[in-house]
Chains A and B, each alone.
Chain A
Amino acid sequence: MTRLAVRDLAVARGGLRAVEQLSFALAAGQALILRGPNGIGKTTVLRTLAGLQPAVAGTIEAAPESLAYAGHADGLKPALSVAENLRFWSRVFDGPEIGAALERMNLRDLATRPAHALSAGQKRRLGLARLLVTGRPVWLLDEPTVSLDSASVALFAGVLRDHLAQGGAALIATHIDLGLPEAEILDLAPYRARPGQRDQRPAGFNEAFA
């Protein structure tokens, strides 16, 4: 079963095309790793797929509300505890209870600690635990392993593998080896937009807000 199908996608950042003619399909149980040098548009592709910005061209096919996006920021409130942060996202997404997610990401002992007292790696683990409470099958992950130690990377790889085994799918932009040998690699370099070609939409609007 195809979870996500992308055809001839072109995305733009700051009014300039970054990636174009990108096509791929993501089946249930499949993980795809986005590679490419800095600035090629990995984040832009993920944000476009998540619906945070419109595609310049091409089609994105996915079941409605099947995508969960995790960006560079974890969306944590420093004044709330770990459990309160996670419970909030679980309720917003109508997802499962938080107990299992806390257990899986090894956050049980930190549940009552306010998020401002967490280390960078612990915050990241909490941000990733959010994916588990969204209950959504396709994960769009932007550098998920930033500030994680090797034990936590392995922990997350295990979570990811379970997610795939349950019919989920994941699209991951990362530079490091996640320890997922079965994941396929999609290099964005061949899809880099030719320079000098500007976005065809009425110019000036996005720039005014940039």
Chain B
Amino acid sequence: MKSLLIRDLRLATRAGGGFGLALAFFLIVCTLVPFGVGPEGGQLARIAPGILWVGALLACLLSLDRIFALDFEDGSLDLLATAPLPLEGAVAVKALAHWLTTGLPLVLFAPLLGVLLHLPGPAYPWLLASLLLGTPALSMLGAFGAAVTVGLRRGGLLLSLLVLPLYVPTLIFGAEAVRRGASGADPVTPLVFLAAITLAVLALVPFASAAALRVNLR
């Protein structure tokens, strides 16, 4: 399992691996919004939690189709399926690799973009905490979508449509936690819900994804 993780991280950071694509997209969204909405600080501060969360979510979506598609095309997925490693484990590791190369940089980068959007000071720890708790679920649900659509030509569109509704609960509770943090209210309740969703996703989705992969490999 460790070797699969190391390989995926290595592939993501080498030329053509797509590392940084999500970050660049996140940066573009968050710098363009003030131009579109206008420079008025109060208005930006009000929408900042939502924009940051939607931006992170869409950035995450960009690289999802690569989770399994490349391995499917070059035959690695067939070989992984016949390896001693359980397919559920392989799915979990690949989702983890996706999170480490996409989700984690987004989390670390978000406070910087919060400044661009006039995010109020007290909200920063909650922005970090909510993204840290929520983005693993985004990667894992994305891996499920990628497993269902693997092998389809131009499956990216279908993948986005499949995955977006699954992302909604995470988005609602994540953005709500930041909003409450910004307004000085207690953000713990949405954070607990967010953590619960992520834990349930991490526990159940690898099995669904592996089952979808097995069907698609036939």
A residues with a Cβ closer than 8 A to B are 47, 50-54, 65, 67-69, 71-77, 79-80, 84, 87-89, 91-94, 130, 205-206, 209
Contact = CB atoms under 8 A, between A and B. Distances in A.
Contacts of B85: 92
B84 A73 contact: no
A72 B2 CA distance: 27
Top-8 shortest CB links A-B: A73-B75, A91-B3, A75-B76, A53-B218, A75-B75, A79-B14, A75-B79, A92-B83
Size category of the B interface is: 20 to 34
A52 B151 CA distance: 15
A84 B10 contact: yes
Nearest to B81: A52
Contacts of B3: 87-88, 91-92
Interface in B71-98: 73-76, 78-85
A74 B74 contact: yes
A93 B4 CA distance: 11
Given A80-B7, A92-B3, A71 B78 contact: yes
A85 B80 CA distance: 13
A77 B74 contact: yes
A94 B83 CA distance: 9
Nearest to B15: A79
Nearest to B17: A79
Contacts of B82: 50-52, 67-69
Counting chain A CB atoms within 10 Å of each CB, which of B75, B78, B82 scores highest?
B82
B215 interface: yes
Contacts of A89: 79
A137 B2 CA distance: 25
A79 B84 CA distance: 24
Nearest to B4: A92
B84 to A, nearest CB: 6
A194 B122 CA distance: 73
Contacts of A65: 84
A47 to B, nearest CB: 8
Contact of B76 (A53, A72, A77): A77
A73 B83 contact: no
Contacts of B78: 47, 50, 52, 69, 71, 73, 75
Contacts of B16: 79
Nearest to B212: A209
Given A75-B74, A79-B16, A93-B84, 6 more contacts: A50-B82, A51-B82, A53-B217, A67-B82, A80-B11, A209-B218
Contacts of B74: 73-77
B81 A72 contact: no
B183 interface: no
